[in-house]
Structures are given as C-alpha cells and as structure tokens.
Structure 1
Amino acid sequence: MKCLVIGATGATGYSLVQQLLEDDRFSEVVVFVRSEFPLENDKLKVHQVDFNNHDEWANLIQGDVAFSCLGTTLKQAGSKEKQWKVDYEYQYNFAKNASLNKVPVFVLVSAQGANSDSKMFYSRMKGELENAIDKLSFEKLVIMKPGLLKRPDSDRFGERLAEKMLNAFNSIGVFKSYKPLPVQVLASKMIEKAMSSEEDRIVVVSEFQN
C-alpha cells in the first residue's frame, strides 16, 4: 500500500512516518514538506512543496490512504489569519486533491472540542474543517480528536505547564479523561483506524488508551 502524509515534520507526523516505515503493510510512504526531511529510508519518498500553490503538486497526491496532521499554534503563526491558512486551508486543499485523485481513505487529526458552532476560534476552525472534509467523496474518513498531546522535548511552555497540571490532577484521580496523550499513541491509533475494517464511512476517535 502507498500512503501520503502532510505534517510529517511535526511531533505527531514524525512519529507517524516512523511507524509507517516500520509497517510491512505499506510499501511506499510519501511525505509533502516545506523543508528538508531528516529521515532516509528505501520506502520513503520526500516532496518539498509550496503549500500556497497546491495545484502545482496536486497530481502527486495519489495513493491508498492519506494522513493529515498539519497544524500550528496561534503564537507560532502570528495571527488568526495565518493559523487558519495552515490549519484549515492547507489541510483542506490536501484533502480536496486527495478526493479528486480517488484516494479512498483519509485520516485527519482534529482536536478535542472541535465544533463549527463554537465561540472559540480554534475549536470553530477545527469543526469547520471536519465538516468541509466530510463533504468530500472519501470511501472512509477517520477523524482523530485528541486532547492535550505529549510531545517529546516540547518547547511549548503552555503545553509543558498544562501537562504538569494534568499529571498532578491525574495522580489524585481527577480529570482522567484528559490525560496527556503521547504522540506515538496517537500515530499508532491513526494507522490502526485507517487499516480497520469498520463499515462506517466516518470513524470518529475521541478516546485513547495509553
């Protein structure tokens, strides 16, 4: 099988690519990145692309399953408009071209609390993206809705602080459902659900065991 990945340089995407390369069910792993990718493998094919000009590489989005785990923070993006471009437009354009090219399975990393009616910008953006991709013609759509992600060596102060607070609450039996989720577990679940034989066209995953 041939799989396609955007967001491969992020913590979740990087772990996902590592696991895909180790999985014998996949013969080719194609990643689309803006800069050089640090991994080398006989199964790996790297395309450096301009996400602002998706039509230039739309013909390359062909395979058996596409994984979308691209994302940024408001702080990193610098504005809501720029975050929307990365988290919504880039991912939607990737999904749209995957659909046009008849990629049957699409896996999207969304977020806990995603809701197009939310008053919170981030949650509303994620919810609107889910709705837009749902309207495309995938045979199977998997939507992952994780909470706080536990990234190796994260340099995001807010994430580190939230993780410490949740771990403290978890240790006394509080907020167990909000336990920080290691990106390796999320990546593994993405592959599991992509390859599962569930009959539902849309599979939403909001609970994870780690």
Structure 2
Amino acid sequence: MSNSTSIIIAGSTGLIGHHLLNFALKSDDITHVYSITRRPLDASSSKLVQMIDSELKINKEQVQEASPTIGFITLGTTLKKAGSKAALKAIDLTLVVNTAKEMYNIGVKHVYVVSCIGASPSALSHYLKCKGQMETEISCIGFESVTFMQPGPLAGDRDEPRKDEVLLQAVARVFTPLMKGFLLNYKPIEGEKVAQCMLGLALENNQQRGIHRYTSKAMFGLQK
C-alpha cells in the first residue's frame, strides 16, 4: 500500500457511510478523505475535504492536491422512502452509476460499492433488479478493480429507521443460533462491520484486479 493513500466517499451520512468516514479519518494509512454529500457533515479533520452538491457532483479542482485512487459508494434507498419504482431506480441505479463514472474520471482505480445479497439484473424484485443492473454497469466502466459488498439485513442506528429492516432483524434474531453456512448471508450485520470490512479490504488489497463480491457470510469470516 502507498504511504500516501487518498480516498473519496459518496454517501457519508448513511448507516454504512458515516462509519466508513469515521474509520477513514482515524486511519494512519489514509492522508486525504474526500466526501461527497448533499449537506455539510458534522465532522472535522485536517485530512477531510467536504464536497457539498445537491446532485453529488465531484468538484475536480478540490481533488487536485491528492487525487484519490480508491472510491467508496454507500448510496441507496428503499421503495417506501423513494416513493416510486422510478424514484428508487434513479437513486440505486442511475445516481450510483453516475457517481462511479465521476470517480473514474478523476482517477479512481479501485471502487467499493454497497449492493445487496440477491442482486441480479433478472431478479423479480424491483429493488434487487436495480442493484443487479447497477453492478453490471459499474463493472463495465473500466476500473482496475470493483468490489461489491452484498450484505443481507443491516443492523444499526439510522437517522430514519426502516421498518422493514427492523422487522427482519427481529425475526432473524430468533433464528440466529440456527444461521450457519449459507444462512449467514441473512443474519443481520451491523453497518459498522460492513464499513470496517470495506476499508480493510481497500487498504489490504489495493493492487487487486477484477470484479469481487463479499456477502455477509464472507464479511463475518473476515472479522474472525
């Protein structure tokens, strides 16, 4: 790993993103952290550069000091919050892919993207189909490596709790002792743990190539 690692994060205010930002700011291995958000962050650090834009556009002038080579995208929504299938697609597919393209255009070589277990362009679920299409499009942009994090139910505190996730977490807790093997992919995983895995992978494998996917089972394995 380079002794001068610069990263960029899109989605620093979400469940996974805000933990990722905190880990990055505390890491001695990272010298510059660029954050793209719609509103200012309640964070302060000499290594943090905030980019505030309603459309999450990257200001190329702000990254000239130390162009980031590693990018993280933790953007996403739900059908209920988005309000319609079209609105969900605009965020989970279009916005995420456009953000990845902007990162590529400023020199990002390795990108880490939060997706979901079961993501597939042919999925019957609109949500999973959008995630699958997003993975397909980002895989074709030209990054040296793309890593998709595919967690199952997410646990942790959100600014706006999602009732569907709360219900899934409650049900899953009952069956947690039985969740082994493949079923670990559906065991609730803390957003903080996903963020920790993302950053750890990025710092350890910054020379990797190709397309990679990590499910919850794989992430639980990384923390042993």
When the two structures are superposed, what TM-score results if normalisation uses the length of structure 1? 0.91
Note the 1:72-87 alignment, pairs <5 A. Answer: 72-87=77-92
Structure-2 residue corresponding to 1:5? 9
**Pair 1:170-2:176 in alignment:** yes
- Identify which range, 123-132 or 99-108, moves more after superposition: 99-108
Matches within 5 A, 1:26-105: 26-51=30-55, 54=57, 57=59, 62-105=67-110
> Percent of pairs identical after alignment?
25
Is residue 2:165 matched to residue 1:196?
no
- 2:165 aligns with 159
Using the TM superposition, name which of 121-130 and 91-100 deviates more: 91-100
- AA at the equivalent of 1:165: V
Cα-to-partner distance string for 1:178-197 (whole Å, 9 max, x where unaligned): 11000111001101221233
1:119 aligned residue (117, 120, 124):
124
Match of 2:21 in 1: 17
User: More deviation in 43-52 or 101-110?
Assistant: 43-52
Aligned residues between the structures: 208
Contact 2:120 2:132 in 1 (8 A): yes
Per-residue Cα deviation, 1:112-143 (whole angstroms, up to 9, x for no partner) = 00000111101110000000000011111111
Task: For residue 59 of structure 1, report the CA deviation from its aligned partner.
Answer: 5.9
Q: Displacement of 1:42 after TM fit? A: 1.6
Is the 1:166–1:180 Cα contact (8 Å) retained in structure 2? yes
Query: Partners in 1 of 2:179 and 2:7 — Cα distance?
Result: 39
Note the alpha carbon deviations across 1:84-105, whole angstroms, 9 max, x for none: 1111111111111222222111
- Are the equivalent residues in 1 in contact too, given 2:151–2:185 (CA < 8 A)? no
Point out where structure 1 has 5 or more consecutive residues left out of the alignment: none
Q: Provide the rounded CA distance (Å) in 1 between the counterparts of 2:126 and 2:192.
A: 27
Q: Which contiguous aligned blocks of 4+ residues in structure 1 show a shift greater than 3 angstroms?
A: 56-62, 171-177, 197-200
How big is each residue's C-alpha offset from its partner over 1:13-70, in whole Å with a ceiling of 9 and x where there is no partner? 0000000011111111111111121111221111110217x3x736656411110000
**Corresponding residue number in structure 1 for 2:149:** 144
